Amino acid sequence: MILETAPDALAGFTVGVTATRRREEFGALLERRGARVLSAPAIRLVPLAEDADLLAATRLTLDGPLHDVVITTGVGFRGWMAAAEGWGLSGDLAEHLSHARLLTRGPKARGAVRAAGLNDHWTAPAESCDEVKDHLLAQDLRGRRIAVQQHGEPLTGFADALRAAGAEVIEIPVYRWLPYRDPSPLRRLISQAVSGAVDAVAFTSAPAVHAMLGAARADGLEEGLLAAFAGPVVAACVGPVTAAPLTERGVPTLQPDRSRLGALARALARHLPEHAVTRLDAGGHRVEIRGHAAVVDGELRPLPPAPMAVLKRLAAKPGHVVSRADLRTVLPGSAAKESAEHAVEMAVTRLRRALGPGGIVETVVKRGYRLACAYDPAP
């Protein structure tokens, strides 16, 4: 059993982080558990004070009485209030909100409402927009004027359902996502995920998922990325709203019990060591094979890509001889372009040097290599 608090639970694993907000904080949570973190911001926020759409929606909100206000995120609500203050509208907005029922999607949104000196009316128990929508639709909405704060992309189905029930809906685009200015880190992460060079990609917002899929599509790699997420690469999402774009495509996701960054880091620290590690005894040594490292008798030993590819291929058939020709097929990049004998021999030499103790990888003359494991030779 892997403990949540194990400081090295993620040692030997590589995790891609697509977050923009709080990416340093989240990366630190993973690094403290031993992970190698690849930061690849997928999206950026439009500054609220410069957003003409938000200003227009705010003025529309103030044009008449409000009956209900749906607040989906704490950061979004705080940003809306700050932007209104910059426009000289904060007093009018606070007055309107004080006479409305404030429905919050979760505790962070509720906390932002209370910090603004306002009273919250109801909070969704499971922190989902669908709960808020169902709560409203269970009431008579005819003639009600409802403001719905969005959280990165339009809640079209949400607003349409309220309008169909007779409500006037004002959509508040509190912050909008755009692709990150420098797309190269995200494109590299996509290539690494497709090739299996990362063990997990973490998402903290649905727009980041959409941005990564869109970037992959533009490079002709969307199918490969989805296949990677359905196979060796874990798609870790902070909650069901974030996971929705992948769930709709049938991609399995790892989600924590609570939609929090710390909970997501703990979920990865439990999942990867339990599901992405090969453990075996070879040459009298206990060996664990992780994403980019081996743990030999409890000592972490990082491995370059070519030796790691050889080790994983040998571990797929522990104790069996694997030919040089077979091993050459798994060598990455330039290593695979060298002569078969030289490329494989160099990779094996580097593997033995990196593993440390001798006797783990054996040479079988004129046949190939094997891990020194016992096996049943019967077919």
- Confidence (pLDDT) at 48: 64
- Confidence (pLDDT) at 207: 87
Q: Could you count the other beta carbons within 10 Å of the beta carbon of residue 292?
A: 16
- Confidence (pLDDT) at 229: 97
Residues 167-187 pLDDT 10s: 999 999 877 778 899 999 999
CA 325 to CA 338: how far, in whole Å? 12
pLDDT band with cut points at 50, 70 and 90 for residue 20: confident
The answer to whether 16 touches 38, Cβ cutoff 8 Å, is: yes
Mean pLDDT, rounded, for 98-120: 95
Q: Is the pLDDT of residue 379 over 60?
A: no
Q: Could you count the other beta carbons within 10 Å of the beta carbon of residue 138?
A: 9
- Confidence (pLDDT) at 378: 41
Highest mean pLDDT: which of 70-74, 177-181, 218-222? Answer: 218-222
Residue 215's contacts (CB-CB under 8 Å, 6 or more residues apart) are 42, 179, 183, 186, 187, 190
- Confidence (pLDDT) at 375: 57
Mean pLDDT, rounded, for 264-272: 95
Average confidence score pLDDT of the chain: 89
- Confidence (pLDDT) at 260: 86
* CA neighbor of 177 nearest in space, from 60, 71, 41, 85: 41
One DSSP character per residue, 258-273 reads SSSHHHHHHHHHHHHH
Q: Is the pLDDT of residue 62 over 60?
A: yes
Q: Which two tokens stand for residue 182?
A: 């420098």
H helix and E strand count, the chain = 15, 17
CA 203 to CA 16: how far, in whole Å? 9
Q: Is the pLDDT of residue 205 over 50?
A: yes
- Confidence (pLDDT) at 7: 62
Q: Is the pLDDT of residue 377 over 80?
A: no
Q: Which two tokens stand for residue 235?
A: 């798609």
- Which string of b and e fits 60-94 if b means at least 16 CB within 10 Å? ebeeeebbbbbbbbbbbbbbbbebbeeeebbeebe
- Confidence (pLDDT) at 5: 44
Residues 308-332 pLDDT 10s: 999 999 999 999 999 999 999 988 8
Q: Is the pLDDT of residue 358 over 90?
A: no
Domains of the chain: 14-45+180-275 (3.40.50.10090), 50-175 (3.40.50.10090), 283-371 (1.10.10.10)
pLDDT band with cut points at 50, 70 and 90 for residue 376: very low
As a whole-number percent, the residues of the chain with pLDDT over 90 amount to 69
- Confidence (pLDDT) at 361: 95
Helices 74-86, 90-98: inter-axial angle, 10-degree rounding: 130
